[in-house]
Amino acid sequence: MDVSFAAVRNDDRKLVRTLKFEGNREISNGMLKTVTRTQTNREIFGIPGATLWRSLNAISSRLGEPPRYLDREMVGRDIERLKAFYHANGFFYTEVDTSITEFSPGRVRVTFHITEGPPSFIR
C-alpha cells in the first residue's frame, strides 16, 4: 500500500467514506477502483459505516487497517491514472474531473466524473 499519510496535516484529516464514479458506461466501477489509490476502508457485508477493520486498528496498529484519509495530491494522480487506463483501453478522448464533498464533519465523498468519449477500433 503506497498511501502517503505524511502529506496530510493532522488538523486537515478527513476520512474518505465514499468513492464514486459517474459517467462510466464501458468500464465498471469495480475495475476503476483497482486503478485509483484513493480508497475507503473496507466495510462488513457492504454495510455503510461498518468498518470493523478500521476500528480494530484503533485498538492496535497491528490489527485491521489504518484509516483512509483524503490526500488531494493522490486524487490528482488518480485522475491521471484513470485517463491513462482509459487511453490504454482505446478511449483516447476521455476526460476525468473530480469533486470532493464533505457530507459530515471529517468525512468526505470523492466523486470522479468521467466523460468516456468514443472508443477506438482497429480494423
**3-state secondary structure string, the chain?**
CCCCCCCCCHHHCCEEEEEEEECCCCCCHHHHHHHCCCCCCCCHHHCCCCCHHHHHHHHCCCCCCCCCECCHHHHHHHHHHHHHHHHHCCCCCCEEEEEEEEEECCEEEEEEEEECCCCCCCC
Confidence (pLDDT) at 96: 97
Give the residue, 59 or 123, on which the prediction is more confident.
123
71-116 pLDDT, tens digit per residue, is: 999 999 999 999 999 999 999 999 999 999 998 888 899 999 999 9
Q: State mean pLDDT over 2-31.
A: 76
Candidate from 26-30, 42-46, 87-91 with smallest mean pLDDT = 42-46
The pTM of the whole model exceeds 0.85: no
Percent of the chain predicted with pLDDT > 70: 70
